[in-house]
Each structure stands twice: as C-alpha cells, then as structure tokens.
Amino acid sequence: MTADTSPMPAQVRPPYGRMTVGDPALPDDGRLDGAGVVHSPGGAGEIGPTGRPLPAFPVPPPLATQGVAWMVAMCNQKGGVGKTTSTINLGAALAEYGRRTLLVDFDPQGALSVGLGINPMVLERTVHDLLIGAETDIGEVIVPTQVEGLDLLPSNIDLSAAEMLLVTEVGREHTLARALASVRSDYDVILIDCQPSLGLLTVNALTAADAVIVPLECEYFALRGVALLLDTIDKVRDRLNSRLELAGILATMYDARTLHAREVLARVVERFPDEVFHTVINRTVRFPETTVAGEPITTYAPTSVGADGYRRLARELMARHAAPPVASR
C-alpha cells in the first residue's frame, strides 16, 4: 500500500492485519459455509478459505467528510475471470455502505452496462465521446442505476474506435484520467471495468487509477499471465502514475467442494501471500442469472452467499484502504 488517500477519518480506521478474528455477520455453527469459511463455535479462530485466520471486517462508519474519489481499476487481461461481475457487485455493495460509487464501463463489449440493465447500443453518448475530445459534458453521459448511490458511465462498441484514434494523440495514456477529473469529487469510489487486454484502454485505466484489483478465476492456468500483468502495473507506476498500488488479488468462481479449486487457491495464496484478499467469491449460478436480470446480486438475491461475498469484499477493501501502508505497521 502506498499513499493513504482514505476518505475515512483516521480515528475510525480499523487496524487491518491486527484485527481479532470472528465476524459477527457470519454464521456461527462450526460449519463450512458456501464461501469456504470454516466456522468455529463461538466465532473465534476462524480459518478463511485462503487458509489464513479470517480477520473481522467491520461495517464501515458513515463518512465524516467527502473528498476525492478513490479510483480502482478491475484488471486482468485474461478473459472471463469475473472482472465485470466484480465491478457491478462490489460497486453495489459499496453503495449499500453509503459510498457514492461510479462504475466506468471501459470495455467495448459493454458488458458492465448490460449487467446493470442498460442497452448500450441505444445510448446517444458513451465514454467514447469523452475520450475523442468531443464537446461532451460528462454529466450528460453518466446514468443512474437502480441502486441508490451507484452511477454508471456506459460504453459500447464505439469505444474500440476511440482506442484507435487515441494511438496518435499526445498524452494518450492520460485521456481517461482527464475525462474523469471533473467528477472525482462527486464520488467516494470509482471502479473501472477493464477489457481483457493490456492495450491502450487498459493502460489508460491504470494511469487514471489509484489502485488495481486483479480478479483471478480459481481454475487451471489462473496464474498464467499474472506476471505480465504485474509487470505492466510496475511499468505504469514507474512511467505514468506513481500513485498506482495493487489493492489486492481477488479469487473468484471458487467452489470449496472441489479439491481442484482448493488446490488452485492454495497455489495463488502461496505465490501472493499478502496480496490475496481474505474474501473469496464462490461459484454460483446466481451470478449469470443477475446478468439476465440486469441488476447486482445484492438486490437480485440480497441474502445469498454471493451477495454476502461482495459485501464482505467491500468491507475488506475499505479496511485495507484505510490501514497504514504495510511498511509502517
């Protein structure tokens, strides 16, 4: 973790990494829940699905002051690992916790927009207009979602044309950062859903962002390409954006019942012991269902394990973000 830009006041920051185990929001009957958490009677000494003691991630208090949005890119050049699903549902969970959240669809596939019930093909204005320098007010492009406190900057296939036009621009890597600058004070968190590539759009997202979340599917080859991704993050940090930090690696589509998924997760944790989130998102058919429904799981199936997973991730992310950098602990 680098510079602390937390909107949370210092006196209420949870001491991440030194917290006592046991989360009152979890069942307390000594069983393995759908997210692979081993629950011990009494709630103490829980071992999480990553094999580490599970800290408590308290519900964050309301923000005392409103500052500048913390911007996080959801990034992995591997396709179908849960970037869009995590952007929608983490965003919805953050909004539930009172964080004004903007989701940026930065993939010409427009899956984030579709997943929030918006048909991007009929929109007059999208993120494309902001990038190509047209006289567009970002306020006219942002659309509210059904979730209070959650807005969307939609995108569609036009974005791929913008990528080609950008190639010849001066300062092309900073285009998204410039486009978002005027709304950063309107939000507490901005999540950018990247496309599955390490091309110019993704580099723009990394240049705009304060942090990156890397979703990884708990499947064979989960780690394939991660070294290249981390190398790209390092290069962007060195050359374009010194603020950029790795917020964490998120294991997705985890099925605690299969030995295979448990082995994959163990390997990921072995390779990245400090970076992997304690929260793991389990595999459930409820997520594809939410895409069809066009809404987050937190409203589609509010009491499901999937909704609980993303709420837990939101709490962990806020606790991590609020904690002092590892080096100064």
Contact residues: Mg ion, CB under 5 A: 83-84, 111
Please tell me whether residue 320 binds ligand ATP under the rule CB under 6 A.
no
Contact at 8 Å (CB) between 190 and 69? yes
Q: How many CB atoms neighbour CB 26 within 10 A?
A: 17
Nearer to ligand ATP among residue 193 and residue 210 (C-beta): 193
Q: Which does 101 bind (CB under 5 to 8 A by kind): Mg ion, ligand ATP, none?
A: none
Q: Which does 287 bind (CB under 5 to 8 A by kind): Mg ion, ligand ATP, none?
A: ligand ATP
Contact at 8 Å (CB) between 120 and 147? no
Structure-block tokens of residue 84:
């869009």
Nearer to ligand ATP among residue 84 and residue 101 (C-beta): 84
Distances in whole angstroms, Cα of residue 305 to Cα of each of 37, 51, 110, 129, 309: 11, 19, 26, 38, 6
Q: How far is the CB of 3 from Mg ion (least distance, A)?
A: 29
Q: Which does 100 bind (CB under 5 to 8 A by kind): Mg ion, ligand ATP, none?
A: none
Distance CA(55)–CA(18), nearest Å, equals 8
Q: How far is the CB of 239 from ligand ATP (least distance, A)?
A: 25
Q: How far is the CB of 72 from Mg ion (least distance, A)?
A: 15
Question: What does DSSP assign to residue 69?
Answer: P
Stretch that binds ligand ATP, among 79-87, 91-99, 203-211, 311-319 (CB under 6 A): 79-87
DSSP H or E run through 216: strand 211-217
Please tell me whether residue 281 binds ligand ATP under the rule CB under 6 A.
yes
Binding site for ligand ATP (CB under 6 A): 79-85, 107, 111, 196, 252-253, 281, 283-284, 287-288, 291
